[in-house]
Amino acid sequence: MGHGLTPHAAIIGAGPAGAICAWTLAQRGWRVTLLERAPFPRVKVCGEFVTPAATDILEGILPEAALLDAGARRIRRVELFAAGRARQWQMPAPAWALSRASLDTLLLAQAARAGASVLSPASVRDVEYAQDAITLRLADGATLAAEIIIHADGSGRFDPAGALAPAPGLVGMKCHLNLPPQGDLLTMRAAPGAYIGTVSVEGGLSTCALVARKSLVHAAGGDGDQLLATLWPDFRPAWRQGDWKASSVPRGPYRTPGHPRSFRIGNAAAAVDPVGGEGIGLALWSGHTLGVLLAKAEPTAASLACVQLAIAAAYHRRLRVRRLGCRLIAEIMMRPRLAGLLWPVAASPEISLRVWYGATGKSLATSAKQL
C-alpha cells in the first residue's frame, strides 16, 4: 500500500458512483470516508432505469436476490410512442428499474458493510490541496485529511478544474405516478421539445422522468403537471404521487481533474444525455472502474498519475460512441416529426435497437436466466 500505511480516500457524494467506488476500495483494503450532504433516503431526478451495460456491475454489489427483495423490476421490453404511432419489442438484454431512494440507500449500506466510514449529512465547505495530501473542511468546522479525493457529487465543484457545466437550455424533471403496473416494460414518448420515460418501480408506483427545453418549462410556469399534460395528453394530475423534482441536465466530455491527487467520477467527470439509462450506467461503471484502478496503485505521485491517465483513457473509450449516440437519440426524441420520418428504422429492432445495444456496450446475448 505504500510506506506501510493504508491509503485513505475521501469521496464527496454517496450516489451510485461514490458508493460503488467506496465499496470497491474498502473491499480491497483502503480506508474510505464517504461524505454526503443529504440525509438518506432521498429523491433524485433520475429515470431510475439501469442500462443493461451496467447490470453486471450493479449485481456485483447487490445480487439479483437483494434487488428483487427491494422491489426492483427486471425490464425486458421497451415501447416507443412517436408521431402518433407505437411499437413494442423485446430488449436484446434485460435491465433493472428501482427508485433512487431505495437504490442509493442499498448501495450506501453495502459500502458501509465493506468498511467505508459514512458521514451523512455532512457538507463540505472547501478543499485544500497540497503536494502529498488533501484536507477537507466541513460546514460544521471539522476537518478531514486524506491521500486522495474523489469527486462524485454530480458536478465536481470542489475540484480545481471546476464544475462540469450542464446542458444549456434543458431541464430534467421527475415524479412518481400511480399507474397500472407496467410489469417489465419501459415506455418512451417523443414530444415536441421533450422526451418522457415511464417505468414501474417498487411500491406499486411508476417513475416518470422527462427532459424538456427550458422554454416549455417556463411556458408552463414551472408546473410539472401542466407541462406533462401538454406533452402527454392522456396524463391526469391525479396520477401523481409526491412532488415534482427538477434539476439541470448534465452533459459534457471528460473533465481532467485539476490536481494530481484529485479524481472525478459520475456526472462530476463526464455526462451523456440521459437516454436509455446511460447516465446511471456511466455512474456505476466509473465508480467501479476507478476503484479497481486505485486498488492496484500506491498513494505515490507517480502511481496516482498513472491512474489518472488510465481512468481518462477508459472514459474516452466509453464515451467515444455513447456521447454522440445519446445526443442524437435525445434530439430525435424531441422532434416527433423527425422521429416519424425515421419510424421505419426505429421500429425495426434489427436496425435500431440491436445497433444501439452494440454501440453502447450492452450485451446482445439473452440467457435462459434472463427470460
Domains of the chain: 8-165+251-359 (3.50.50.60)
Q: How confident is the model at residue 365 (pLDDT cuts 50, 70, 90)?
A: low
- Predicted confidence at residue 366, as pLDDT, reads 43
Which residue is it, cell 498513494? 299
Q: How confident is the model at residue 371 (pLDDT cuts 50, 70, 90)?
A: very low
Q: 265: how many CB neighbours lie within 10 A of its CB?
A: 32
Give the count of alpha carbons within 13 A of 16, CB side only: 31
Q: Tell me the per-residue pLDDT of 29-62, one tens digit each, with 9 for 90 and over.
A: 999 999 999 998 989 999 999 998 899 999 999 9
Q: Tell me the per-residue pLDDT of 175-214, one tens digit each, with 9 for 90 and over.
A: 999 998 889 999 999 999 999 999 999 999 999 999 999 9
- Predicted confidence at residue 5, as pLDDT, reads 61
- Predicted confidence at residue 359, as pLDDT, reads 64
pLDDT of residue 321 exceeding 90, the answer is no
- Predicted confidence at residue 3, as pLDDT, reads 41
Q: How confident is the model at residue 343 (pLDDT cuts 50, 70, 90)?
A: confident
pLDDT of residue 240 exceeding 50, the answer is yes
pLDDT of residue 368 exceeding 50, the answer is no
When the pLDDT of each residue in the chain is averaged and rounded to a whole number, the result is: 91
Average pLDDT over residues 237-262: 95
Q: Tell me the per-residue pLDDT of 85-139, one tens digit each, with 9 for 90 and over.
A: 898 888 888 999 999 999 999 999 999 999 999 999 999 999 999 999 999 999 9
Q: Closest by alpha carbon to 254, among 319, 305, 161, 308?
A: 319
pLDDT of residue 1 exceeding 50, the answer is no
Average pLDDT over residues 8-33: 96
pLDDT of residue 351 exceeding 70, the answer is no
The residue ranking higher by pLDDT, 40 or 259, is 259
Average pLDDT over residues 336-363: 73
Q: How confident is the model at residue 367 (pLDDT cuts 50, 70, 90)?
A: very low
Determine what percent of the chain is predicted with pLDDT higher than 70.
93
pLDDT of residue 364 exceeding 60, the answer is no
Q: Tell me the per-residue pLDDT of 267-315, one tens digit each, with 9 for 90 and over.
A: 999 999 988 888 899 999 999 999 999 999 888 899 999 999 999 999 9
Determine what percent of the chain is predicted with pLDDT higher than 90.
75
Q: How confident is the model at residue 370 (pLDDT cuts 50, 70, 90)?
A: very low
